[in-house]
């Protein structure tokens, strides 16, 4: 089994977390995972069950959801709004909407992604002139305490040893899972249909560089198939794995 030392948990940031000029009780701004190019703008928070969202409300479809699900949605939406402020301080872009399937509806000229797991949430946005698509994902490592049961639903046979002996066997499954989630979030808005774990293949993981290479394992749309190479970055912390992929704006395929 390979040995890989996890980094300490994300450090707390001194920046205030506010709604307007009023601090949001129980919400802390933390440093965003360093897994995206400099053109992306990110915002990340950790919430608590006592987080006071005030007048903010969830969509009708989530009002009957358990409190933790509603908190995750609000934390993600807050991160999206703050990331958009960092990307466009002039406020010239309209607010990010919500599509009928629950995914963000990004303004024209903007692409982005949002993820939340437990109390952790972050969002990343970029101008479409820099990236055709972005996908981010974060997962709690303790979700994968029963890897044998989960692996058969997530891992392709050719991924069983991806990353080689440098990648601890206990970390391979959460990394592959998270990378595929990030790929889905990046490609889904472009191909316009759902696809599944077996439709993405992680071909290589470089533990030293913190990078991975992947490709669609099946044809998802014209030009979006096994010939499309996808590159991403990852970072482990003491209790999370974070992944990100992006398609450069210059990538051409027949959509």
- Whether pLDDT at 6 is above 60: no
With a cut of 80, say whether residue 2 has pLDDT above it. Answer: no
Domain assignment present for residue 208? The answer is yes
Region 26-42 average pLDDT? 92
**Do 71 and 155 belong to one domain?**
no
Buried b (16+ CB within 10 A) or exposed e, 60-79: eeeeeeeeeebbbbbbbbbb
Residue 72 lies in a domain: yes
Same domain for 130 and 149, yes or no, is no
Are 83 and 144 within one domain?
no
Residue 29 covered by a domain: yes
Last residue of a domain, one of 76, 102, 135: 135
Among 16-25, 43-52, 57-66, 182-191, the minimum mean pLDDT is found in 57-66
Q: Are residues 27 and 45 located together in one domain of the fold?
A: yes
CB 40 within 8 A of CB 186: no
Between 153 and 66, the more confident residue is: 153
Q: CA dist 149 to 2, 115, 137, 138, Å?
A: 21, 24, 21, 20
70/34 same-domain check: yes
Kind of pairing between the strands at 110-117 and 120-127: antiparallel
219 and 171 within one domain: yes
- Please answer whether residues 88 and 128 qualify as being in contact, where contact means their C-beta atoms are separated by less than 8 angstroms: no
Confidence bin at 92 (pLDDT 50/70/90)? confident
Kindly state whether residues 147 and 130 are assigned to the same domain: no
Position with higher pLDDT, 232 vs 67: 232
Kindly tell me if the per-residue pLDDT of 100 is higher than 80. no
Q: Which residue has the higher pLDDT, 19 or 255?
A: 19
Same domain, 130 and 156: no
pLDDT of residue 13: 41
pLDDT of residue 21: 61
Question: Is the predicted pLDDT of residue 9 greater than 90, yes or no?
Answer: no
In a domain, 99, yes or no: yes
Nearest to 114 by CA among 130, 138, 95, 93: 138
Give the tokens for residue 90.
Answer: 């002039």
Torsion of CA 74, 138, 245, 94, to 10 degrees: 10
Do 25 and 130 fall within a single domain?
Answer: yes
pLDDT (tens digit per residue) in 152-194: 889 999 999 999 999 988 899 999 999 999 999 999 998 988 9
Overall average pLDDT of the 130-140 stretch: 96
Contact 203, 163 (CB under 8 A): no
Whether residue 125 is contained in a domain is answered as: yes
Q: How many alpha carbons lie under 13 Å from residue 95 in its C-beta half-sphere?
A: 7
More confident residue, 238 or 8: 238
CA torsion through residues 187, 189, 192, 195, sign: positive
Instruction: Name the H helices within 88-193.
Output: 147-154, 169-191
Residue 115: which domain range? 18-135
- For residue 255, tell me if it sits in a domain: no
Is pLDDT of 3 > 50? Answer: no
Residue 45 covered by a domain: yes
Q: Are residues 163 and 126 in the same domain?
A: no
Looking at 107, 135, 163, the residue that finishes a domain is 135
Structure token pair of residue 227: 């010939």
Q: Is residue 237 part of a domain?
A: yes
Q: At residue 237, does pLDDT exceed 50? A: yes
Domain count, the chain: 2
**pLDDT confidence band for 77 (50 / 70 / 90):** confident
pLDDT (average), residues 8-17? 45
Confidence of residue 58 (pLDDT cuts 50, 70, 90): low
Please indicate, yes or no, whether residues 34 and 119 belong to a single structural domain of this protein. Answer: yes
pLDDT of residue 26: 76
Question: End-to-end distance of the chain based on CA atoms, in angstroms?
Answer: 43
Together in a domain, 130 and 57: yes
Out of 83, 106, 135, a domain closes at: 135
């Amino acid at each position: 089994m390979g040995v890989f030392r996890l980094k300490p948990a994300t450090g707390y940031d001194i920046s205030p977390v506010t709604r307007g000029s009023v601090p949001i009780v129980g919400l802390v701004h933390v440093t965003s995972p360093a897994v995206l190019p400099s053109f992306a703008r990110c915002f990340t928070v950790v919430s608590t069950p006592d987080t006071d969202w005030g007048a903010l409300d969830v969509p009708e479809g989530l009002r009957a959801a358990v409190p933790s699900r509603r908190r995750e949605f609000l934390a993600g939406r807050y991160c999206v709004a703050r990331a958009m402020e960092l990307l466009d301080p002039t406020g010239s872009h309209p607010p990010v909407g919500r599509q009928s399937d629950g995914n963000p509806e990004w303004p024209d000229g903007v692409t982005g992604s949002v993820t939340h797991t437990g109390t952790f949430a972050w969002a990343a946005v970029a101008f479409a002139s820099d990236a055709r698509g972005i996908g981010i994902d974060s997962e709690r490592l303790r979700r994968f305490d029963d890897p044998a049961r989960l692996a058969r639903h997530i891992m392709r046979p050719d991924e069983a040893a991806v990353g080689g002996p440098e990648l601890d066997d206990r970390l391979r499954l959460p990394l592959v899972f998270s990378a595929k989630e990030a790929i889905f979030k990046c490609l889904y808005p472009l191909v316009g249909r759902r696809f599944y774990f077996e439709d993405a293949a992680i071909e290589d993981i470089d533990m030293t560089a913190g990078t991975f290479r992947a490709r669609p394992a099946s044809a998802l749309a014209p030009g979006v198939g096994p010939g499309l190479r996808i590159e991403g970055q990852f970072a482990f912390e003491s209790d999370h794995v974070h992944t990100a992929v992006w398609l450069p704006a210059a990538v051409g395929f027949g959509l």
